[in-house]
Structure 1
Amino acid sequence: MKPIRIATRGSELALWQANFIASALGCETELVVLSTQGDRDQSSSLSDIGGQGIFVKEIQTALIDDRADVAVHSAKDLPALEPEGLAIGAFPKRGDVRDALIGNPLGQLKRGDLIATGSPRRQVQLKALRPDIGFVPLRGNMATRFSMVERCSAVMVAYAALERLGRLDLVAEVFEPTQLVPQVGQGALAAECRSEDDRVKALLMEIDDLATRLAVQSERSLLSQVGSGCSLPVGAFGKTDENSGRIDLIGFIGSMDGSNIIRVSGSGSDPVELGSRLGQELMTKGGSDLLDQANRCKNHG
């Protein structure tokens, strides 16, 4: 039987994720290491070069072209809508969803100190906690992010990334999801395959974690209501009760300057219905107006 070809990006963290999936599958595998647009352009902001999807398109193309059998992604990098012919065969048990600061904790920063982060979602929520701090853009691999501590007072990263790379020693502060709503899919991995590949789908089904799948599906459903290509800060976090199957979901959308942050929360058993309902609630509570304002500014920019 031919080995399962696993497509992945080439960063240290991406290779950890691909090898984790390979080990979980328990069969012969080989890695297909690819470079994505997001890897090649390290200077532009994510919104300038396409936003969500720039770390996955080339990997998905390898699946479609039958150059790979499985594509491993950080679930947070996936657009809300799945390309035709592909399916997410597994969401393994989710890692830690929280955001973390390295360098210094928020409470020890002085007025005017800078935090390195390229994420508008993180910036607007941190600004709500500390209006007196500033931000500098951040792109690049984890080693680049670690090095920014020498130039800034703190750097914000995903706690799960630190945990997977064995660098929890760097953590200065961790933020609960109620403080900083995470990115959709944060802490979760997604193993994608061709929809018609029954052999691979059966293998991936064995490593799928239902509680994680339901939670991430609810988050992705919310994102699809707001708009998969939304340029505004958006976050969501779902948590599944493994006994009852109930999903608790929180979500937010904010203006780019952080002056307006809208949050919603709710529960349900159907992840798509729950996410859709809360996504619609975000929009009716002011999200639509924020998007209209952002689009007008973009068109006149």
Structure 2
Amino acid sequence: MTGVVRLATRGSELALWQTKWVVSLLPVPTEIVTVETEGDRDQERSLTEIGGQGVFVKEIQRHVLDRRATIAVHSAKDLPSTSVDGLVVGAWLPRANPFDAIVGCTLSELAPRARVGTSSLRRSAQLRALRPDVDIVSLRGNIRTRLTKGKGLDAIFVAAAALERLEIQPPVVEILDARVMMPQVGQGVVAVECRADDREMIQLLSALSDRETELSVLAERSFLRTFGTGCSLPIGAFAEMQDGTIMLSAMVAAPDGTRVLRGSLRGEDPEQLGGLLASDLVERGALALLSASEGKG
């Protein structure tokens, strides 16, 4: 490959960590291009209010499509469930811790009417199902910003992968199993996109991709795609390889936590598996729960 590979990324500490990881894996000269996204510019409104899907990736993808960058580095959880024309994910890097963490207090020790910070409808709906008495406080920003703001609250939610990758060790932290707090689709995974017609880059990235991570994330994204939603609605899914097959678990919730639908299914084809599990939850009333969450964030 001739020339410098330009990697487009958000400018946050975690995004740059992820991009430098990709740089360390590429056997070619590189240059990092930081891009401010819509989600970065607006830190006050909820993700639903500022556009939901793609608010952290659209501008980065445009840099690649316009050839201002060669590849784009994303947190896979930020990618909409449908691909952008002209782009393809060339590599799904090995997954870090996929689960959520509660910081400041363990879940069992949350005081009555505790104030808990999160901007995620997925997290707040599941927490309300467990503890309807808690007060959810909207909390956005990068990981260190949220940790600082969270000092005035009883607890906050963050992704465990962010803590581990940035080597942040809060005094009190509890990792929550998917049976308690279903993660966001793609959580803990770094996705690397390139142009669909860049065969040389596709070949280069394929050597970096982790097959088990790819199968797991494709199953999760297939589940999500049925509903046509992203991070702005109370949906979660987590897949992992078990004995050579994919075990997919997922949930759809009412935003107030009064009802949570959960299901799991095992299979070999990730696209088919996600669709089948989504159909099962739809038959059990998932669409009605999601329609109740429209306009809420």
Whether the TM-score (by the shorter chain) exceeds 0.5 is yes
CA distance in 1, matches of 2:113, 2:249: 31
Residues 148, 155 of structure 1: 8 Å contact kept: no
Kindly report the root-mean-square deviation, in angstroms, between the aligned alpha carbons of the 2 structures. 1.5
Matched with 1:290 is 289
Matched with 1:90 is 91
CA distance in 1, matches of 2:41, 2:231: 23
Q: Which moved more, 1:132-141 or 1:83-92?
A: 132-141
CA distance in 2, matches of 1:179, 1:215: 19
Tell me the secondary structure at the aligned position of residue 161 of structure 2. Answer: helix
Matched with 2:233 is 232
Matched with 1:247 is 246
CA distance in 2, matches of 1:149, 1:108: 17
Residues 81, 228 of structure 1: 8 Å contact kept: no
CA shift, 1:171, in A, is 4.7
Cα deviation digits, residues 193-235 of structure 1 (max 9, x gap): 0011011111110110000000000000000012235853000
CA shift, 1:154, in A, is 0.7
Matched with 2:189 is 188
CA shift, 1:33, in A, is 0.6
TM-score, normalised via structure 1 length: 0.94
Structure 1's 63 and 170: CA in aligned 2 closer, same or farther, altered over 3 A? Answer: farther
Tell me the secondary structure at the aligned position of residue 248 of structure 2. Answer: strand
Cα deviation digits, residues 119-162 of structure 1 (max 9, x gap): 01111111222222111001111121110232101111000000
1:261 aligns with 2:287: no
Unaligned runs of 5+ in 1: none
CA shift, 1:273, in A, is 0.1
Structure number with greater CO (CA < 8 Å, separation at least 6) is 2
Q: Which amino acid aligns with 2:131?
A: R
CA shift, 1:113, in A, is 1.1
Matched with 1:66 is 67
Residues 226, 280 of structure 1: 8 Å contact kept: no
1:124 aligns with 2:152: no
CA distance in 1, matches of 2:20, 2:292: 43
Tell me the secondary structure at the aligned position of residue 118 of structure 1. Answer: coil
Q: Which amino acid aligns with 1:30?
A: E
Residues 219, 238 of structure 1: 8 Å contact kept: yes
Residues 125, 253 of structure 2: 8 Å contact kept: yes
Mapping for residues 6-21 of structure 1, pairs under 5 Å: 6-21=7-22
Matched with 1:52 is 53
Mapping for residues 269-280 of structure 1, pairs under 5 Å: 269-280=268-279
**Identity over aligned residues, as a percent?**
45
Q: Which moved more, 1:121-130 or 1:266-275?
A: 121-130
CA distance in 2, matches of 1:229, 1:236: 11
Matched with 1:144 is 145
CA distance in 2, matches of 1:180, 1:230: 15
Q: Which amino acid aligns with 1:151?
A: G
CA shift, 1:26, in A, is 2.8
Residues 53, 232 of structure 2: 8 Å contact kept: no
CA distance in 1, matches of 2:31, 2:235: 36
Mapping for residues 196-207 of structure 1, pairs under 5 Å: 196-207=197-208
Tell me the secondary structure at the aligned position of residue 168 of structure 1. Answer: coil
Matched with 1:281 is 280
1:79 aligns with 2:44: no
Residues 73, 191 of structure 2: 8 Å contact kept: yes
Q: Which amino acid aligns with 1:111?
A: P
Residues 86, 192 of structure 1: 8 Å contact kept: yes
Matched with 2:3 is 2
Q: Which moved more, 1:221-230 or 1:267-276?
A: 221-230
